[in-house]
Structure 1
């Protein structure tokens, strides 16, 4: 297995370990991420993303929300909500 395949296998294992489908934050919309459809609640892309790239088209066909938010940073494990207007809300943990 090459480095890219092992990275995707590790990401898939992390995603499927969640009780609820998570929102996945990644740098770019690489087509290989389509293997996560059905296991994720959505995607946030931190880098450039095109509405016409292969993954964007496949995500729309499957009704999986995705947004591009340049330089988006969030702590791992935080709860994200993707809103219909393209806004990303980070839930604040309760004290």
Structure 2
């Protein structure tokens, strides 16, 4: 989400984050419009820090949440690359 915000694709900040319960895959986010990109990025960085803390605690019993997070990196990189290439063609 941080990358999407930095690219200007998502003008929202993370307002609230409800973490995943142990041995589940469901979490909840509350978003709010945020015109200031730096504030929006900071909100996603804060949420990521909270989630990483949870993954560290849960990793003792299960590696599934860590694998789930790593599985979204490639699609985000692909979106970012497409956005950069389409933006470069407009210059």
Larger helix proportion of the pair: 2
- Point out the structure with max Rg over C-alpha: 2
For Structure 1 versus Structure 2, the TM-score category normalised by the shorter chain is under 0.3
Give the structure-2-normalised TM-score.
0.26
Q: Higher relative contact order at CA 8 Å, sep ≥6: structure 1 or structure 2?
A: 2
